[in-house]
């Protein structure tokens, strides 16, 4: 039986991968489905448990999102979800995953530094840019200064006001460093076909207890 299930899984993986390779909309649908799946039913206990897991933060191991990776993540995704994020002004609603694994970045926004804490320091997230219909971090290119961005660990909801939006070179890693006395949210994704990066930053303007009302900003 185990052998049969293993073979079935491999066959299913090839079928999904084949479909993704020849149909970009299918790939985008699969990514969007994964994101929504990770968002639904998330609990505080799951967030606490996932926050203790180990994660990869090696920028050099991050690969462009591919059909094969999406297929793999669709079937066996080991990314650890630790919260939710939203930028309602551009209809961006995604899970926050721990680290920069390919599974994490195929699903939502990944934390860029170890031991990041929401509402403290510079909370930095990276995400893939997918050109069609704003999947993953693609919609960030439409963000305007003054828009609000939200993150939550289901215990508190943190509101940031966006004040910085710029295309920067990949070497501008200083943007994710902590700045003394500042509480920031930094969002990074590709620009110019991957040659450069969009960098979006917001400053913390409000911290609220998570409840039905305050969590409503994470629902489409």
pLDDT tens digits, 91-130:
999 999 999 988 888 889 999 999 999 999 999 999 988 7
We report the CATH number of the domain holding residue 211 as: 2.40.260.10
Q: Reply yes or no on whether 65 is catalytic.
A: no
Please tell me the predicted confidence (pLDDT) of residue 35: 83
Q: Which residue is associated with the tokens 């913390």?
A: 204
pTM for this model (two decimals):
0.86
Could you give the 3-state DSSP secondary structure of residue 84?
strand
Report how far apart, in Å, the C-alpha atoms of 196 and of each of 35, 62, 87, 173 are. 25, 15, 22, 12
High-pLDDT (> 70) share of the chain, %? 85
Could you give the 3-state DSSP secondary structure of residue 78?
coil
pLDDT tens digits, 48-75:
999 999 999 988 788 777 777 776 766 7
Q: pLDDT band for 24, please (50, 70, 90 cuts).
A: low
With b meaning 16 or more CB within 10 Å and e meaning fewer, what string describes 178-188?
Answer: eeeeebbbbbb
- Has residue 83 got a pLDDT over 90? yes
DSSP run (H or E) holding 196: strand 196-209
Q: For residue 89, how far is the Cα from the chain centroid?
A: 17
Q: Reply yes or no on whether 128 is catalytic.
A: yes
Domain residues for 119? 2-218
- Domains in the chain: how many in total? 1
Please tell me the predicted confidence (pLDDT) of residue 58: 87
Return phi, psi of residue 207, to 5°.
-125, 125
- Has residue 6 got a pLDDT over 60? no
How far apart, in whole angstroms, are the C-alpha atoms of residue 78 and residue 73? 8
Choice among 190, 191, 199, 204 that is catalytic: 190
Please tell me the predicted confidence (pLDDT) of residue 2: 43
Choice among 84, 128, 183, 197 that is catalytic: 128
């Amino acid at each position: 039986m185990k052998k049969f299930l293993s073979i079935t899984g491999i066959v299913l993986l090839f079928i999904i991968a084949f479909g993704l390779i020849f149909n970009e909309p299918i790939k985008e649908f699969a990514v969007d489905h994964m994101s929504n799946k990770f968002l639904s039913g998330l609990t505080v206990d799951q967030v606490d448990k996932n926050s203790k897991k180990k994660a990869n933060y090696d920028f050099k191991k991050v690969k462009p999102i591919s059909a094969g990776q999406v297929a793999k993540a669709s079937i066996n995704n080991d990314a650890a979800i630790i919260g939710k994020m939203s930028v309602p002004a551009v209809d961006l609603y995604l899970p926050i995953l721990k680290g920069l694994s390919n599974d994490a970045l195929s699903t939502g926004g990944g934390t860029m530094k170890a031991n990041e804490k929401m509402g403290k320091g510079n909370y930095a997230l990276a995400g893939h840019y997918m050109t069609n219909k704003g999947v993953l971090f693609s919609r960030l290119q439409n963000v305007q200064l003054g828009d609000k961005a939200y993150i939550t660990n289901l215990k508190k909801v943190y509101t940031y006001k966006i004040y910085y939006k710029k295309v920067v070179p990949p070497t501008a890693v200083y943007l994710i460093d902590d700045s003394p006395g500042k509480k920031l949210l930094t969002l990074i994704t590709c620009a110019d076909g991957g040659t450069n990066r969009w960098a979006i930053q917001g400053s913390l303007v409000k911290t609220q207890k998570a409840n039905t009302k305050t969590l409503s900003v994470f629902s489409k």
